[in-house]
Chains A and B, each alone.
Chain A
Amino acid sequence: MWKFIVRRIFLAVIIVILGSFIIYGVMRAMPTSFVESMARQRAAASATTGGPTYQEWLEQLNESYHMNTDILSGFFSWLGGVLRGDFGDSWKYGVPVTQKFGEVIWHSVILNCITLVLQVIICIPLGIQAARRQYSGFDYGITVFAMLCISLPTFFLATLLKYAFAIKLGWFDLYGLVGRYHEQLSQGAKILDIAHHMFLPVLTLAMLNIGGLTRYTRTNMLEVLNADYIRTARAKGLPERTVINRHAFRNTLIPLVSYMSYLIPSLFSGSMITETLYQIPGIGYISYDAMIAGDLPFTMFYSMFGLILTQISLMLADIMYAVVDPRVRVN
């Protein structure tokens, strides 16, 4: 087992480095980089005072941003910084990347945690009920609803919700995490204000994710309900509640827990589209803005963060699979 984990970690490190390199290469291939537009701005600003020209600014900025090297050595100098814990300063936000990350990550985590809890509360009972009444009208309804949620494009759902709740009913603000008078509010009211602004994003994310988990629960529950030991439990005259809650559901938990453990790292990855649409300053929205602006350090950090999260969740899935179900042998 340990040997497997060590090998997996070793592999993960290589994948993270190679993946970062690919992203770095693509970023450097951008013809009009952030540095060039900055140099152009500064040259225009200093043109009247006889300051440095565009070319001089470009050279100066390229040097200070380590852009005057070729891609390979540029990447290794970046990687060297990363190994010393230095991700550099964000070009767009002008603060160290890690500091900006620390400021915004919790918005994403809170958003995703609430969504996950909501999702579990809604999906598992729905999935179980649908499985118990297989092929009934309720089951069809749930199936269609779950499919509909999977098929909804994030941006369309978000726009619809904003249209209905923010514009037509006026219950919520269109954008942002805090209201206009947030700073004047008391501590408790501040939290309520944020909760109020998080309602629509949470609803959006929950609706998008409900489909998958409901269907997963239903499939696994069906599998368990068709098992022989359920027939035995019923045959020996146990009440239906006990059969479902104690015998069937507990066995469904095995795949569910492994599915959940797979979700945990994604709590940190943010949800780029939803955050951008509601302008929630979480890691997704901030990174999207940085990427559009061509902010190399921030994009590299976010990509590396994503790569690491993917590797962790893959490893967790492998390990949890073995932990939850001892019949699985790791090779």
Chain B
Amino acid sequence: MSEMIKDNNREPQENLALDDGRRVKVLSPGMMVFKRFIRNRLAIVGICILIFMFLFSFLGGVISPYRQDQVFYKVDSANKEYAGAVVNTDYRFATVDGSPLSTMVRATFNSQVKGKPEESVTFTADGATYTAKKVDDGFWLITAGQDLGKVALLGKIVDVKAAEGKEISPALKEAAAAAAAAGQTAFELEGDAYTLTRDVGKSYRLSGMSEIALASLLNFDAPDPARAGLAADYTFRRNCETAMHRGEKAFEAGGETYTLNAVSENDAEVLDRSGAPVARVSNIIVNPVTSGVLLPPAYREAVTDAIANHQTAFEYVNPEGVTEKHTIQMRGNTYIISTVQQTYLIDMYAAPGPDHPLGTDDHGMDVLTRLMYGGRISLMVGFIVMILENIIGIIIGGVSGYFGGWVDTLLMRFVDLFNSIPYYPMMIIAGAIMDSFEVDPYLRLYMMMAIMGIMGWTGVARVVRGQILSLREQDFMVATEATGIRVSRRIFRHLVPNVMPLLIVQATMGLGSIILTEATLSFLGLGIKYPLASWGSIINSSSNIYVMTNCWYLWIPAGLLIVLTVLGFNFVGDGLRDAFDPRMKR
């Protein structure tokens, strides 16, 4: 123990001269400042914060795998309405000659038929008489008076001429001839009524009620487009429906025999001789929910089957061979068929996860990446505005302080004027002006920095002027005058550097408040605009209550970054002030 103390005491005993270099260590003023600065714990904390922020913003953007305006999408599966099916209650019409039935006729038919139990209804529309005969519930055949031909009486010979395109059966010919000979104006044959109207002399016009159309609640669907012609064929439809309503199992049309495979009362499948399906007859109409979607016949059939069998869900193999599950819901008279569909969505407000450590924002962009790029802008705005303020402030303050007199008075009143213009109103008006000009976001950024610089230089000018006023009376300035150094050099090489320490302190503290101002303006939507980001504009999303309540990761990190950065600048500024002039107390 004592040995050690002796050892320790030995060193100072070495004789050193008072001015020995090892004894008095002279530090340069810069070194002194640096030493005092790094002894300040808060300042070191501030420096660490700032280094982190710079790395985060300027390096982070490089490291981040995403671009700042990269929009993310997600695939979402949602149960979506796919098709609707209704039990048909509207009559569908088909005509013998394929031409559409006039609206008037259809409307009159609908109103006459509605709720009437009669087997036959006669009505007039468009000046013609029509008779509708009920075959079964929901199936009517419509006949109309038509010119069939001419009957001419030449003594005992009766000549019956068919009108163009018409055919008169021999039985009708005979009956018409007999009626004409007997002088009758109306006769009946096989339950159909015919009339004879006198034309000229002894010639009569034969008109008869012939079938022109059918009205049915059933819907014909072809299983594939090649068979569509058959489903639209009148004879086929008529015979098929007649057979269906009579409960027959087979019918004939166009020389072919078809078989009916009934699924339910109003639902049947039509097969041809080889057993291949040629049509589906049903009173259920299936329509896609969104227009532009073509439902394949197989799908319609699957829906019809499911409804006929009172199923609430069915499976359908789509043309790509994938089995889809569909569910059926009854809503009013409509069956709603929904299925799980894959949709491609912008991934908005995604919660933090491995892909996006801080989630995504309202544009579906990665928040962490935007924070990094936003940091670049926030820090850049801070530095550029600070430099701008200092350039203007040093020039005006330097000139004003050095020359004094009327130059000083004029410039200082100018400073007073700028100083008293309300800052926020000015910035808000400027922001509104840029809004209405729809300035490009990048140009807007530069304009904003310029305006902030122009509005903020007065403080610097005052400090510089005040310092120079006292400095210019000092001996070294007399010396510069004596040696004949020119004025601009005297101001900017000899006076301004002496003000620098104070300016550096002020600038560091000012950086924080510039960043705050920029953030506030961006928060109000008057600063940085999309697609550019700044920390303030990122927090702007929190003005939406939904975001504020549910998406903390959108606005709290940005706010913390602002607070930490400004705190860092304030700590460093404070530390610098203490280091430059220890007498200036905090």
What residues of chain A have their CB less than 8 Å away from a CB belonging to chain B?
Answer: 11, 14-16, 18-19, 22-23, 26-27, 29-32, 140, 143-144, 147-148, 150-156, 159-160, 162-163, 167, 174, 215, 218-219, 222-223, 272-273, 276, 287-288, 291-292, 294, 299, 302-303, 306-307, 310-311, 314
Contact = CB atoms under 8 A, between A and B. Distances in A.
A156 B563 contact: yes
Interface of B: 41-42, 413, 416-417, 419-422, 424-426, 428-430, 432-433, 436-437, 512, 516, 519-520, 523-524, 536, 539, 542, 545, 548-549, 552, 555-556, 559, 562-563, 566-567, 570-571, 574, 585-586
Interface of B is mostly: helix
B416 A32 contact: no
A311 B567 contact: no
18 contacts: A14-B413, A16-B420, A19-B420, A23-B422, A26-B430, A30-B432, A31-B433, A147-B567, A147-B570, A147-B574, A153-B536, A155-B523, A155-B524, A156-B519, A156-B539, A222-B586, A276-B524, A307-B421
A215 B42 CA distance: 15
Q: Which 4 A-B pairs have the closest CB atoms?
A: A156-B559, A151-B566, A306-B422, A310-B420
Nearest to A144: B42
Given A11-B413, A287-B425, A162 B42 contact: no
Nearest to A131: B585
Given A151-B512, A151-B570, A291-B428, A167 B548 contact: yes
A32 B436 contact: yes
A303 B425 contact: yes
Nearest to B516: A153
Contacts of B585: 219, 222-223
A132 to B, nearest CB: 14
A26 B413 contact: no
B482 to A, nearest CB: 30
Nearest to A27: B429
Contacts of A218: 586
A29 B520 contact: no
A307 B549 CA distance: 39
A219 B262 CA distance: 100
A299 B567 contact: no
A150 to B, nearest CB: 6
A80 B39 CA distance: 61
Chain A CB within 10 A, most for which of B416, B420, B424, B436: B420
A143 B417 contact: no
Contacts of B519: 153, 155-156
Nearest to A16: B420
A150 B509 CA distance: 11
A307 B519 CA distance: 24
A29 B434 CA distance: 11
B362 to A, nearest CB: 16
B545 A219 contact: no
Given A147-B570, A294-B432, A219 B548 contact: no
Contact of B436 (A16, A30, A215, A303): A30
